[in-house]
A and B are shown apart, each in its own frame.
Chain A
Amino acid sequence: MASTETRPAGAPAAAAAPPVRVVVAPAGWRADLRGVKVVWQRELIRFWRDRLRIITSLLQPMIFLFVLGGGLAQIASGGTQGVDLRTFMFPGALAMAVVFTAMFSAASVVWDREYGFLREMLVAPVRRGSIVLGKCIGGATVASFQGLLVMALAPLVHVPYSAVMVLEVLALQLLLAFMITAFGVMAAVRITQMQAFMALMQMIVMPLVFISGALFPLNGLPRWLEVLNRLDPLTYAVNPLREAVFSHLTLTPAATAALLPGITWFGWQVPIAVQVLVVVAFAIAMLGIAIATFRRA
Chain B
Amino acid sequence: MSEPELAVEVRGLVKRFGDVEAVRGIDLDVTAGETFGFLGPNGAGKSTTISMLCTLLRPDAGNARVAGHDVVAERDDVRRNIGLVFQDPTLDGYLTAEQNLRFHAELYGVPKAVVPERMRLVLEMVGLWERRDSLVQTYSGGMKRRLEIARGLLHAPRVLFLDEPTVGLDPQTRRSIWRYIEELKAAEEITIFVTTHYMDEAEHADRIAIMDQGQIIALDTPAALKASVGKDRVQLQVDDTDATIAALRERFGLEATIAEGTVTVAVDGGEAFVPRVFAELGVPIRGVSVARPSLDDVFMSYTGTTIRDAEADGGPDPLMRMMAGRR
Contacts and interface: CB of A to CB of B under 8 A. Distances in A.
A116 B325 contact: yes
Given A15-B186, A20-B117, A192-B325, A125 B106 contact: no
Contacts of A115: 89, 91-93, 325-326
B178 A42 contact: no
Given A13-B183, A122-B56, A2 B200 contact: yes
B56 to A, nearest CB: 6
Contact of A34 (B84, B107, B118, B200): B107
Contact of B114 (A17, A20, A46, A116): A20
Contacts of A116: 86, 88-91, 324-326
A119 interface: yes
Given A45-B99, A114-B325, A24 B178 contact: no
Contacts of B125: 14
Interface in A152-192: 192
Contacts of A120: 90-92, 104, 107
B111 interface: yes
Given A1-B199, A42-B103, A45-B95, A24 B109 contact: yes
Name, among A2, A24, A34, A35, the residue most crowded by chain B CB atoms within 10 Å (CB to CB).
A24
Contacts of B94: 45-46, 49-50
Interface stretch (B4-12, B75-83, B262-270, B276-284): B75-83
A38 B109 CA distance: 11
Given A12-B187, A15-B183, A6 B79 contact: no
A6 B180 CA distance: 12
B80 A27 contact: yes
B48 to A, nearest CB: 15
A14 B183 contact: yes
A1 B118 contact: no
A19 B296 contact: no
A4 interface: yes
Interface residue range, chain A:
35 or more
Interface in A256-281: none
Interface residue range, chain B:
35 or more
B90 A25 contact: no
A200 interface: no
Contacts of B187: 12, 14-15, 17, 19
Contacts of B79: 123-125
Contacts of A19: 121, 156, 187-189
B178 A6 contact: yes
Interface in A118-154: 118-126
B108 interface: yes
Given A19-B188, A22-B114, A119-B86, A125 B95 contact: no
Interface string B108-136: 11110010011001001100000000000
A9 to B, nearest CB: 11
Contacts of A49: 94
A37 interface: yes
Nearest to A31: B109
B76 A20 contact: no
A51 to B, nearest CB: 13
A52 interface: no
B92 A117 contact: yes
Contact of B110 (A22, A45, A50, A126): A22
A230 interface: no
5 contacts: A22-B114, A22-B155, A24-B108, A35-B107, A118-B90
Give the top 4 A-B pairs by smallest Cβ distance, nearest first.
A25-B109, A22-B156, A12-B183, A125-B79
Given A7-B178, A14-B183, A125-B77, 19 more contacts: A2-B200, A6-B179, A19-B156, A19-B189, A20-B117, A22-B118, A24-B109, A27-B76, A31-B76, A35-B107, A49-B94, A114-B326, A116-B88, A116-B89, A116-B325, A119-B90, A122-B56, A125-B80, A126-B107
